[in-house]
Amino acid sequence: MSGRPVKRSLTLKGHRTSVSLEDEFWQSFRDIAKSKDIAINALAAEIDVNRDPEIGLASAIRVFVLNWYRDRSSS
């Protein structure tokens, strides 16, 4: 576990954007998209639409991932 963010590209609304996340968040983000049977870009677009404009996309993704697993562990 390096803890260093890794920059990757996503496509949101037809535009490319870069997001820096730690490898563990990228892997969890991919796993969630797979479990929802949607593309990672589609999941990122959902998060993007629902986030507070004052919150960065990377932060919104991290919180989404955290909440996803919290919700599953409390069920």
User: What does the angle CA 71 – CA 42 – CA 16 come to, to the nearest 5 degrees?
Assistant: 125
- Percent above pLDDT 90 for the chain: 87
**29-51 confidence digits (pLDDT tens):** 999 999 999 999 999 999 999 99
The residues near 72 (Cβ < 8 Å, ≥ 6 apart) are none
Domain parsing of the chain, residue ranges: 22-73
| Per-residue pLDDT at 75 | 67
* pTM across the whole model: 0.91
| Per-residue pLDDT at 74 | 82
Report, as an integer, the average pLDDT of 6-34.
95
